[in-house]
Amino acid sequence: MLRRSIVTLVILLTTGCNRSSETPASSGTGCIERYEPSRDYFPEKITPEFASNFSVEYHNSYKVVSVRRPSDGGAENKYVLLQCGAPAPVLPAELSNVPTVTIPITSLFSSSATQMQVLVDLERVSALKGVGQARYITAEPVMEWIRQGHVTEYAPNDVIDTEMVILKSPSVVMSSGGYVEAYAALRKAGIVVVDNMDWQEPSALARAEWLKFMALFLNEEASARRKFDAIRDRYMVLKERTAHIPEKDRPRVMTGIVYRGMFEIAGGASYVSRLISDAGGIYVWSDNTAAGGTSVDLESQITRAAGADIWINGADWKSRKAMLAEERRYKEFKAFQRGEVWSYNRIVTPGGGYDYWSRGVTRPDLILGDLIKIFHPELARDHEFVWYKQVPAE
């Protein structure tokens, strides 16, 4: 009996070692060495819980990823993600012209600093080979990767060097919009350009869930699900702290800055509006229907927001005195008069990179904690400010 057990154990260990050379796709490493048509190479799967702008369909050796609202506003974009080592699949007719990407990708060009923290969270910074503009990056592991010479800057002057990108031939160029002509040229040259539209999502949790979108290209579903679930749970715990605050005890909150004669504000259907509500505030433009930033005339803003208790998300103001030098009519707002003006400029790089726009995208729980500490400090004694700080008088 003992001999049989030992033999069995040896067989199991040997089998396990053999299969480890065909690492499951979800581990983020390795290619298929002996393809088995009936095998599911993606045992770890994800489904968006809050994000509405991307989806994924799993097949045995490939995934079909869809971005419903791409940057150009046209029909949804699809991408076939084929596991390394698998033969080209027989695709339905509607996918015949869809770009195919071999995964896990090993060479990512990224146009947005907001995508950097996602790579850090997934522990896959090594896949990054190109960035649009390095000066806006705040994630230290990424900056160190750049300092080591592993990364090409392909749009330092806000103009994409298409010849350079084509020469480097990355697995994927991940876009966040804009650069229409340059991206068209890259696609024509056979470079896969993927739309990453996290900023179109209506809530902070939905934006953060694009961590899973990046994970699809890296076969890091298990890691993404684990990290996002922890962030979601922390967010919900914080949200519960303010859930039962009566309306009379909720501060009225305004946002924005004067720009070219208009007041630029967060839309009433934006993720900022949702954050204000979840933090126990009342957004003065909550009935506005814009899902992103929008403009109102200064007179309308004064009428609507003159009595607001707190002002957030303006500019990188050094003082309220500097604010008045910029626009004298800021003094019309109660929040200004009370000194309740708050900016998310606690962490800014010398090149003008705001950590709020990088790490903040994947950590809405920390943003919510900051806002609760501003709106209801008694409910956030255990929280230290991460990004927000009060604009001083002088």
Q: What is the tens place of the pLDDT at every residue in 295-306?
A: 999 999 999 999
DSSP assignment letter at 225? H
Residues 6+ positions from 381 with CB-CB distance below 8 Å: none
Residues 215 and 278 in one domain: no
**Is 93 in contact with 110 (CB distance < 8 Å)?**
no
Q: Which domain CATH number covers 149?
A: 3.40.50.1980
Do 208 and 84 share a domain, yes or no? yes
Across 41-127, where does the E strand assignment appear?
54-58, 62-67, 77-83, 100-103, 108-110
Q: Are residues 153 and 263 in the same domain?
A: no
Read off the pLDDT of residues 234-262 as tens digits, 9 standing for 90 and up. 999 999 999 999 999 999 999 999 999 99
Q: Which of 311, 360, 340, 74 is nearest to 207 (CA)?
A: 360
Question: Does residue 85 surpass a pLDDT of 50?
Answer: yes
Output the pLDDT for position 103: 98
User: Mean pLDDT throughout 135-163?
Assistant: 95
What DSSP line would sit under 283-327, residue for residue? ETTTT---SSEEEEEHHHHHHHHTT-SEEES----S-HHHHHHH-
- Number of domain units in the chain: 2
Residue 15 pLDDT > 50: no
Q: How confident is the model at residue 63 (pLDDT cuts 50, 70, 90)?
A: very high
Number of Cβ within a 10 Å radius of residue 147: 10
Of all residues in the chain, the percent with pLDDT exceeding 70 is: 92
**Claim to verify: residue 347 and residue 281 sit in the same structural domain:** yes
Nearest Cα neighbor of 144 from 164, 172, 116 is: 116
Edge to edge, the sheet with strand 100-103 lists 54-58, 62-67, 77-83, 100-103
**Residues 56/63, Cβ–Cβ less than 8 Å:** yes
Whether the pTM exceeds 0.85: the reply is yes
Q: Are both 50 and 123 inside the same structural domain?
A: yes
Name the E strands within 68-223.
77-83, 100-103, 108-110, 128-131, 152-153, 172-175, 193-195
Q: Give the DSSP H or E segment for 262.
A: strand 262-266
Residue 3 lies inside a defined structural domain of this protein: no
For the cut 70, the answer to whether the pLDDT of residue 18 exceeds it is: no
CA–chain centroid gap for 373, Å, is: 23
pLDDT exceeds 80 at position 391: yes
Asked if residue 94 has pLDDT above 70, the reply is yes
- For residues 185 and 162, is the Cβ–Cβ distance under 8 A? yes
Q: Is the pLDDT of residue 266 over 70?
A: yes
Name residue 78's beta-bridge partners.
Answer: 66
Phi, psi of 292 (to 5 degrees): -125, -150
pLDDT of 2: 36
Contacts of residue 337, defined as CB under 8 A and 6 or more positions apart, other chains included, come to: 331
> What is the pLDDT at residue 176?
87
- Nearby residues of 262 by Cβ (< 8 Å), 6 or more positions away: 295, 296, 297, 298
Q: Are residues 315 and 179 in the same domain?
A: no
Q: Are 104 and 199 found together in one domain? A: yes
> What span, in angstroms and rounded, lies between the C-alpha atoms of 217 and 268?
33
72 band by pLDDT with thresholds 50, 70 and 90: low
* Average pLDDT value over all residues in the chain: 91
Average pLDDT over residues 114-134: 95
Torsion of CA 19, 25, 30, 34, to 10 degrees: 50
Position 6 pLDDT exceeds 80: no
- Letter for the amino acid at 245? I
- 8 Å CB contact between 268 and 287: yes
Write out the two tokens for 148. 């080591």
Give the H/E segment covering residue 140: helix 140-147
Type and span of the H or E element at 145: helix 140-147
pLDDT of residue 368: 98
| Segment 145-174 mean pLDDT | 96
Percentage of the chain surpassing pLDDT 90? 84
Are 212 and 291 contained in the same domain? no
Q: Please give the pLDDT value at position 11.
A: 33
Q: Report how far residue 192's alpha carbon sits from residue 286's, in angstroms, rounded to the nearest whole number.
A: 39
**Does residue 69 sit within a domain?**
yes
- 14 pLDDT higher than 90: no
First to last CA, the chain: 84
In a domain, 28, yes or no: no
Give the Cβ contact number of residue 104 at 10 Å.
Answer: 24
In a domain, 54, yes or no: yes
> Mean per-residue pLDDT for 328-345?
97
**Are 177 and 253 contained in the same domain?**
no
CB atoms within 10 A of CB 90: 5
Q: What is the mean pLDDT of residues 152-179?
A: 95
Q: Which of 167, 197, 227 is the last residue of a domain?
A: 227
Q: What does residue 341 show for φ and ψ, rounded to 5 degrees? A: -115, 125
In a domain, 34, yes or no: no
- Domain extent for 212: 40-227
